[in-house]
Chains A and B, each alone.
Chain A
Amino acid sequence: DQQVKQNSPSLSVQEGRISILNCDYTNSMFDYFLWYKKYPAEGPTFLISISSIKDKNEDGRFTVFLNKSAKHLSLHIVPSQPGDSAVYFCAASGVYGGSQGNLIFGKGTKLSVKP
């Protein structure tokens, strides 16, 4: 049973436009959420995170929004650049996932930003 779901396997966006990547979770005990970016043949790179006490966190072109009532988070990238083309993983952590940093990952969304 998937606790963290990324329902879109892929997303294609034009350079300069906004990219919105979505993630849903089922476990209300999750209290920390992260986004990772992964290029082929490399390990995931931590991008941005948000605690459940917030509903928004911003870092440069990247903003993560958390809607706890809907158990939904999203990553906005504005403006999108060709170098953003990668697979993006959503991850969650909380009491259920282990008390010492265990993460539950979604299956990823492949973002393609076209020039």
Chain B
Amino acid sequence: DVKVTQSSRYLVKRTGEKVFLECVQDMDHENMFWYRQDPGLGLRLIYFSYDVKMKEKGDIPEGYSVSREKKERFSLILESASTNQTSMYLCASSSPTGIGHQPQHFGYGTRLSIL
């Protein structure tokens, strides 16, 4: 079974803080993704990465950055947290589509509250 582990289930931070969300997968997947989920808005892609040290902007990258120093780890960084970044953050990983379409597998999510 694919396992995607996010470092925290719940996190509370203050406005202006720098926040790190960590994600680790154990399936040697090349592709990793960060989403946020908000009520009525579905899942929105923040950033993704196809390989170590590679990153691409998703649909809503503003206020976020990412780091992929190792294949199994993909970090999401909130440079200066704001209240509108209160959300459920979801990490996912998948194999590359070069071997055929593959589903993304998600972690449990991190419920982040910015006060």
Chain A contacts of B31 at CB under 8 A? 100-101
How far is it, in angstroms, between the C-alpha of A49 and the C-alpha of B44 when the chains are bound? 20
What A residues does B44 contact at CB under 8 A? 105
Answer whether residue B48 sits at the interface, using C-beta atoms and an 8 A cutoff: yes
The smallest C-beta distance from B37 to any residue of chain A, in angstroms, reads 8
Interface set, chain A 8-29, CB cutoff 8 A to B: 9
Q: Does B64 contact A (CB under 8 A)?
A: no
Q: Known interface pairs A42-B108, A49-B101. Does A100 touch B50 (Cβ–Cβ under 8 Å)? A: yes
Would you give the shortest CB distance from B14 to chain A, in whole angstroms?
23
Which stretch, B70-78, B79-87, B90-98, touches the partner chain A? B90-98
Given A51-B101, A103-B104, the answer on whether A43 and B90 have CB atoms closer than 8 Å is yes
Report if B15 contacts A (CB, 8 A): no
Whether A101 and B97, one on each chain, are in contact in the complex, defined by CB atoms closer than 8 angstroms, is yes
In chain A, positions 62-102 with a C-beta closer than 8 Å to chain B are 89, 93, 98-102
Out of B9, B41, B95, B105, name the residue touching A46 (CB < 8 Å). Answer: B105
Q: A101-B31, A102-B48, A106-B42 are in contact. Are A44 and B106 (CB under 8 A)?
A: yes
Which A residues are closer than 8 A to B by beta carbons?
A: 9, 31-32, 34, 36, 41-46, 49, 51, 89, 93, 98-103, 105-108
